Amino acid sequence: MIAEADGGTQEEINVAWQQLKDASDVLKQQAIDSMNTIAKEV
């Protein structure tokens, strides 16, 4: 993704950045959900 953004227009860079942020948000939520599940089981 970084290689794509390196030669891209500002709009392409913004789109790539937003995709990374969205993926990060999903992973963060999955981690929180997993911790909550484990906490409930304990």
> What predicted TM-score, i.e. pTM, was given to this entire model?
0.66
| In contact, 16 and 1? CB cutoff 8 Å | yes
Count of Cβ atoms closer than 10 Å to residue 12 Cβ: 12
| In contact, 8 and 16? CB cutoff 8 Å | yes
| pLDDT at 1 exceeding the cut of 70 | no
pLDDT confidence of residue 37: 95
d(CA 24, CA 26): 5
pLDDT confidence of residue 3: 56
